Structure 1
Amino acid sequence: MSNPKRWILSAVGALVVVLVVLGVYAAWQAHQVQSSLSAATDDAAHLQSAVADGDSAGIDRALASLRTHSRDAHERTDGWVWSLATHLPAYGDDARGVRVASRVVADLSDQGLASLAQSATDLSTIVPKDGKVDIAAVTKLQGGIADASTALAGARDELATQDPSGYLTGLKNRYRDLEGRIDSAASTMASADIAAKILPTMLGGDGPRNYLLVMQNNAEIRSTGGLPGAVSLLHTQNGKITMPVQVAGNEIPMRKSSVLPLTAAERNIYGDQLGTYFLDANVTPDFARTADLWKARWEEVRGEHVDGVITVDAVELGYLLAATGPVTVQGVELTPDNATDVLLHQVYVKIPDPTKQDVFFRAVAKTVFDRIANGTGSPQALIRALGKGAIEHRVLIHSFHADVQKRLTGTPVAGDFVTASTSSPQVTVSLNDSTMSKMSYFLRYDAAVRSTYCTSGVQGLTGSATFTSTLSKDNVAKQTPYILGGYRDFQISKGSQIVTIFIHGPVGGTISHVMQDGKPDSTAWLSHEDGRPVAQLYVTLEPGQKVDLGWQMKSGKGQTGDADLDVTPGLDSSASAAKSSCH
């Protein structure tokens, strides 16, 4: 009879050998996966460059290489050895994260990226050329863009099934970077998908259309971006785009009563000028309401029927110039680097006559429009510029055709003011200049919301915002009276500015404890609009001064998701919202 002890030792020895072999094999697999994913990352960068350059051959090479490397990583992480690794203590979640990331990249290389890359090579056919867009070409691209959008949305959702917070630091950073990139791409493609579907109609494929193109001037801040300065009428028919009318916003006179009936909340919060004065129709953060008011007043004064409203701001013009190249207007060269400085400040320094300023602004709008309409510049760069502006809410679109507006709703360009309860608490911080000045050029601000607790489906939220004047005391004397505005009328020091702040809390929620520089804000006035709590307050900024705001909020019941924070886009502004405390 064999010795049991020897048999046990032999078995243990064999098991150790197997484990060592498995360990070596697993380590080798991990090394190979890392190598493949690293190569796939380089391939993706090459693909991005090729798409930006419209290089068809480069796209094909990069995509083929990406498929090879991503499939290799996916196949290695889909085997039984990797499955064992996903159950290891401490490192199992890391292995699962690598598996999900590998599968997502492999699936995208086979589906979404292929469709996207193919569409990218045809982008030149859907941008204006000689004042016209080929509607048939836009329609042809709809399928590929829709496929890419669906694939990217699926990839985003799959990555969200994992929690990378417990991963090793290196993997956690890479996983979150991948999440961020795919989330951004998915949002962009969702917008592109909608654009491809609505463009044929908006371009006059179903009959002629008229749109108000409103240039928002960030030097005098308004809730949706800025003072409505140059206003143009765009006419589209069978893909042909023209600009037959241009006026200054201040040429549309004030009415004695509102052009449309105002609600009691609108009159209390924004005042009657919301409906009586074209220049103040966007003091509300509700862009759809602003569009209604602009349309009604334009049609009353000018007579031309309006099918929709499109706005862009001065910062977005700088983005567009990066695609079109510099333009020269009245002897002034506008480039991506100087556009905001010229349009929001230098024009008031060098052209003291407001009437001549308006002429310059209209000439800028017409020159940039002509450059885009005639097909100058890179189609990919133009689309990137519009996409960036859309994400930052610097490009807003509202259609008065229900089928088109239904597709726009919920996208970054819609400027939605949410009044229905959703799973995510909605917070809006909007700004309006109250000094009748162009001092918002010197205004910098940021806002943030964080979740502090979750009880019975209600989140506690803390909001904060910082406002800074970048005008130094030494430079006050260099500013013109037109820039400085009505500081005397408001009994504030020269070079100061007053900003009206509207804070809209979540639907069904509350706002309390509004603080300014750590003290209760005596100017804060609390009310409600469309089921949302509103705090209205005033911030006075002297040259070089910084002011901190803080407030407490509660969400409506059942709003357990991550908060959404919208902030008026300014010359330099930012918004951030932390994760929900409910999960």
Structure 2
Amino acid sequence: MSTIIARISIWSNNPHLQSLLIQSSYNPSLQFSDYKKTSTNPYVLAIIQLNKDLGDISQRLISIYDHCRIKNQKLSVVIVHGETVDTEKNLYFTQLLDQLGGGSPVHRLVFVKDIYHESLLDSETWLESYILESLLTKKINISSKGENQLYPLSVRDFITGLQKILFLSSTSGKAFWMVGDSITDLDLAYLIKKNLEDSDEQYEIEATAANYLGSDLTSLGNQSRASLNWEPVGDFSMDLRRAIQRLDEDRSKLMTSLHHLDIASKQTNFFKLTKTREFLEKLLDRYKHKKGRLKAIENSSELIKKIFEYSLALVALVYLLVTVSFITFTSMSLINQEKSLNFARNADTSSSVKALTVSSTFAKIGESSYSFVSPVFSLLAPTFHEKNHNLFVFLHYSQSSLENLQQTVSLAEKIYESLGNPSININYNDASLALRSNLSQIYENINQIRLITEKGKLPAFLENKLEASPEFKNISLIEQQVTQILKSSELIPAFLVGDSPKNVVILFQNSNELRSTGGVVDYLLALVMEQGRVVSRNIYNASEIDNLLTTKISAPPLINLYTGLESWQTRDLNYNPDFSLTASNFSAVIEQSLKFKPDIILAVNESLMVSLLEEDKGILLNGQNITSEIFKVELPKTSPNPLYSQLIDHYLDKIFNHRLSLLSLGRVIAKQSLENQILFWSVDDNIEKTIVGQSFSGVIFPHVCNSAIPGSVSCLAETTYLNESNFALVPVGSDLKKKVTHTVTFAQDSVVHEYLIDYQFTKEFNNLNRDLNEIIQLYAPTASTLEEVGVNGKNVASNSIQRQQHGPLERFEIPISLKFNIDNHITIKFISPLTGIFRLPFAYSITEYRQPGVSPNNGNIDLVIKTPDSARAALITSPAVSLPGSFTYTYPPTTSSFGISFEPKHP
């Protein structure tokens, strides 16, 4: 099969570089052409050279972006720097593109410095002009220290890296630095001098130019190389040597090189193809006119013509039949593939496998048929040919994904069916490994499918079909779910592998009374399993566990203050936000009360039941219809609520009797994991060490700098966590909305943090003669000092605040009281010291933990980072809103980090 040619429309404010790329033949799979608004090429490249005319550049870029969005084209914007890196322009174009992209960017942003063509004559970039001018004057002026950094990158290497950026689906909305290996301006001067002296020419080096202490681009370039799996291969010193030799042989090239004329476009073979087609069409017309004539052939010349005409008709007929075969069998392949997907969606794996086998057979016949006629289409209709080629690529990846999905479902069903069924013998270690391997392959295939199904790459009938498919509409969500199931599958051996029984405890929490790990503990499930078989299963409410305790546990001071109880109740036992410590407390209580030591403790909240009910679209329970909405209304009425316990029993029966669809269960687990609503602990230290970096471990520890920050820049990493618990015995739940703003300001020797929490009740709470008592637990960097805590303008007494050391973090426990039925405002200010004096350049990274039990649409945190007066931002790790003197970033509903790099303002 012929190679796909990626067609790229190009616009640049440097017409010489634009013409050079259009005429380049480095990569036969890339074909550049001039950008036009009417262009339908799937890729668009906009190159902005900063030392060229920048008039109306923003409007031009906005116009290109709008057209790309309308036509579903991928846009790559390349910023070509001159002698120095213009960080202000970097920031400006980054913010402009992020604003244009919104939530669904179509762009990739590429920063380039010191690009050159091997001949040094064609692209008119700064580096070429710098070298050519020195060759013309026999003199070069470098910095006084000779340490200004250059990063020569050949056009050939630039095109290779650009291909990676265009074709990888994970590059959308991201920025990359494409630079060559660094050399100093002094090194460049000596390279030129040595090559000229070889030909007996004199060359002077002056060191009077300015020294530029800009950012080291090597680290930024290395990060891009690693993420793209790209390495420049050009040898600048050899390219320079050959170029100087060519220029020395023909001095006229050197004299005219700084005043290039536009290069004429090369003539293609399309004209010849058109003429050939017109000739064939004329022959067919003549044949049609002679069709009715039946007289004898008079001479050999007419016989030859007649044979040719009939041969041509026969060839046309064969091509027609083969084309019909290609269309028919490919269509049948797509139809059977859709059937296979529908069967898989309905958990009918056997029928899905049969339909996929038929689809694969038809696809092979269709592809073989097309390979016979493809040379003609590739010449006469290249766009049509490219779309057909993409069609078979799509079939390959989608069929491969379905096959992996079938194998995954088959393996998962075997594991699922083995639960509670001792007659099924299975090696859980091997099955788990195979499961992860198939899921990884599905993830890779989905990435490729996302790339090939972009608008304009497939035949129109298939694009219309895909637009109506729920799977392709939600392909990003499916990709996230596959990732979460992949992470969850790592825990299968922890539950099912071992010679002795596994004691599993599941905490069912209720977030209507929000607590540190997700909500007040309503019920505990004690489950004993042996090789997948259920040995025992019991559900207890928190009071029943308390009644079984022989020794009471003293409650922490603030819990004692709010509950009035000296003993620590089981419903309040999840007080510590670090789940590894909370789980250890539960383990001790369970061992004393139920007389067995848990091997595994899971913590979930009522959102698990809500998701299961949504999957079932409601159930009939004890003669009553129970939907997710009914459950959400009933749950806050009492704690613990018997309906919660009944639903736990109901779904345990469905799972262990295999009456709950495995696909439904998988979707629920993926959703809960994605929203940070599941926590996991194991008594096995090896497992705990393995999962400590995963969000479901619930372990709180200091995080390192965001990986997008260059290693060459001094970076301060901080970790914070604002955790909230409701101890008012009033289930406010989602009726209390909150918005959190975390402001970070840099002082000379410290970092000042300030939280502002705005609460708003959306429902009236009547007949309450008390406040809403809460405990806020704040984790801050080591040696931090709490400066101020205020509630509705009144300070909280400092002697009521508890302080503890949590490893290298500080943990503050702050009691607060909110008023019902009014808007409440809390301010918390603390200072974390720096180990030295604040100096530029400087990078800052902050990681914020997300509390389980908080719904994704409530309690989002806005991070506001104030820019120091003497600094400006050089880099941000995620899109943020830029305002005068600050950047604002909204954290997603999961634990995540944000980083920013500052450098001195230039005078």
Q: Partners of 1:337 and 1:32 in 2: how far apart? A: 48
The 3 A distance-change label for structure 1 pair 20 and 115 is closer
- Give the secondary structure class of the aligned counterpart of 1:529: strand
The 3 A distance-change label for structure 1 pair 17 and 437 is closer
The 3 A distance-change label for structure 1 pair 19 and 529 is closer
The 3 A distance-change label for structure 1 pair 138 and 222 is same
Find the counterpart in structure 1 of residue 787 from structure 2.
Answer: 512
The 3 A distance-change label for structure 1 pair 434 and 198 is closer
Q: Partners of 1:508 and 1:404 in 2: how far apart? A: 31
Letter in 1 for 2:683: F
- Give the secondary structure class of the aligned counterpart of 2:523: strand
Q: Partners of 1:383 and 1:320 in 2: how far apart? A: 11
Aligned counterpart for 1:430 among listed residues 723, 728, 740: 723
Q: Partners of 1:358 and 1:116 in 2: how far apart? A: 43
Find the counterpart in structure 1 of residue 825 from structure 2.
Answer: 548
The 3 A distance-change label for structure 1 pair 533 and 240 is same
The structure richer in helix per residue is: 1
Aligned counterpart for 1:202 among listed residues 487, 495, 499: 495
1:333-377 deviations in whole A, cap 9, x for unaligned? 3323333222233xx3xxxxx7xx654432221112222334445
1:212-242 deviations in whole A, cap 9, x for unaligned? 1111012222211112111111233323356
Letter in 1 for 2:673: A
Q: How does 1:520-539 map to 2 (within 5 A)?
A: 520-522=795-797, 525=801, 527-530=803-806, 531-539=808-816
Q: How does 1:480-495 map to 2 (within 5 A)?
A: 492-493=769-770
- Give the secondary structure class of the aligned counterpart of 2:513: coil
Please state how far the C-alpha of 1:575 moved relative to its aligned partner. 3.0
Aligned counterpart for 2:700 among listed residues 412, 417, 427: 417
- Give the secondary structure class of the aligned counterpart of 1:87: strand
Find the counterpart in structure 2 of residue 365 from structure 1.
Answer: 648
Bigger drift between 221-230 and 429-438 goes to: 429-438
- Give the secondary structure class of the aligned counterpart of 1:574: coil
Letter in 2 for 1:144: N
Find the counterpart in structure 1 of residue 109 from structure 2.
Answer: 97
Please state how far the C-alpha of 1:21 moved relative to its aligned partner. 7.8
- Give the secondary structure class of the aligned counterpart of 1:397: strand
Aligned counterpart for 1:442 among listed residues 735, 747, 750: 735
Aligned counterpart for 2:583 among listed residues 291, 314, 327: 291
1:289-315 deviations in whole A, cap 9, x for unaligned? 111111111111111231011121112
Contact 2:741–2:755 under 8 Å retained in 1: yes
Is 1:398 paired with 2:391? no
Contact 1:430–1:568 under 8 Å retained in 2: no
Q: Partners of 1:555 and 1:509 in 2: how far apart? A: 4
Q: Partners of 1:118 and 1:427 in 2: how far apart? A: 44
Q: Partners of 2:783 and 2:481 in 1: how far apart? A: 31
Q: Partners of 1:574 and 1:218 in 2: how far apart? A: 13
Letter in 2 for 1:337: E
- Structure with the greater alpha carbon radius of gyration: 2
Letter in 2 for 1:105: S
Over the aligned positions, Cα root-mean-square deviation in angstroms equals 4.6
- Give the TM-score taking structure 2 as reference length: 0.45
Aligned residues: 469
1:150-177 deviations in whole A, cap 9, x for unaligned? 9999xxxxxxxxxxxxxxxxxxxxxxxx
Contact 2:719–2:846 under 8 Å retained in 1: no
Find the counterpart in structure 2 of residue 468 from structure 1.
Answer: 760
- Give the secondary structure class of the aligned counterpart of 1:417: coil
Contact 1:308–1:399 under 8 Å retained in 2: yes
- Give the secondary structure class of the aligned counterpart of 1:393: coil
Q: Partners of 2:566 and 2:44 in 1: how far apart? A: 58
Contact 1:274–1:282 under 8 Å retained in 2: no
The 3 A distance-change label for structure 1 pair 278 and 503 is same
Is 1:303 paired with 2:595? yes
Contact 1:499–1:538 under 8 Å retained in 2: yes
Letter in 2 for 1:25: S
Q: Partners of 1:113 and 1:561 in 2: how far apart? A: 40
Please state how far the C-alpha of 1:538 moved relative to its aligned partner. 3.7
Find the counterpart in structure 1 of residue 409 from structure 2.
Answer: 124
Q: How does 1:92-491 map to 2 (within 5 A)?
A: 97=109, 99=162, 102-105=166-169, 119-125=404-410, 126=412, 128-129=416-417, 131=419, 135=428, 137-146=431-440, 191-204=484-497, 207-241=500-534, 244-253=537-546, 267=556, 276-345=568-637, 348=638, 359-418=642-701, 420=702, 422-423=704-705, 424-440=717-733, 442-453=735-746, 459-472=751-764, 476=766
The 3 A distance-change label for structure 1 pair 429 and 300 is same
Please state how far the C-alpha of 1:445 moved relative to its aligned partner. 2.8
- Which ranges in structure 2 are unaligned for 5 or more consecutive residues? 1-14, 24-30, 46-71, 83-88, 98-106, 111-161, 172-227, 229-392, 448-473, 706-716, 836-842, 864-888, 890-897, 903-907
The 3 A distance-change label for structure 1 pair 513 and 276 is closer
Letter in 1 for 2:80: H
Q: Partners of 1:454 and 1:390 in 2: how far apart? A: 38
Higher relative contact order (CA 8 A, sep 6+): 1
The 3 A distance-change label for structure 1 pair 16 and 410 is closer
The 3 A distance-change label for structure 1 pair 312 and 18 is closer
- Give the secondary structure class of the aligned counterpart of 1:212: strand
The 3 A distance-change label for structure 1 pair 267 and 565 is same
Please state how far the C-alpha of 1:279 moved relative to its aligned partner. 1.9
Aligned counterpart for 1:87 among listed residues 80, 85, 92: 80
Letter in 2 for 1:139: L
Contact 2:550–2:593 under 8 Å retained in 1: no
- Give the secondary structure class of the aligned counterpart of 1:124: helix
- Give the secondary structure class of the aligned counterpart of 2:844: coil
Q: Partners of 2:476 and 2:794 in 1: how far apart? A: 39
Q: Partners of 2:759 and 2:571 in 1: how far apart? A: 24
Q: Partners of 1:468 and 1:294 in 2: how far apart? A: 34
- Give the secondary structure class of the aligned counterpart of 1:503: strand
Q: Partners of 2:744 and 2:599 in 1: how far apart? A: 41
Please state how far the C-alpha of 1:581 moved relative to its aligned partner. 4.4
Please state how far the C-alpha of 1:519 moved relative to its aligned partner. 4.5
Find the counterpart in structure 1 of residue 35 from structure 2.
Answer: 27
- Which ranges in structure 1 are unaligned for 5 or more consecutive residues? 1-13, 38-72, 154-180, 349-353, 478-486
Letter in 1 for 2:776: I
Bigger drift between 552-561 and 274-283 goes to: 552-561
The 3 A distance-change label for structure 1 pair 184 and 500 is farther
Bigger drift between 206-215 and 305-314 goes to: 206-215
- Give the TM-score taking structure 1 as reference length: 0.66
Contact 1:446–1:575 under 8 Å retained in 2: yes
Contact 1:203–1:237 under 8 Å retained in 2: yes
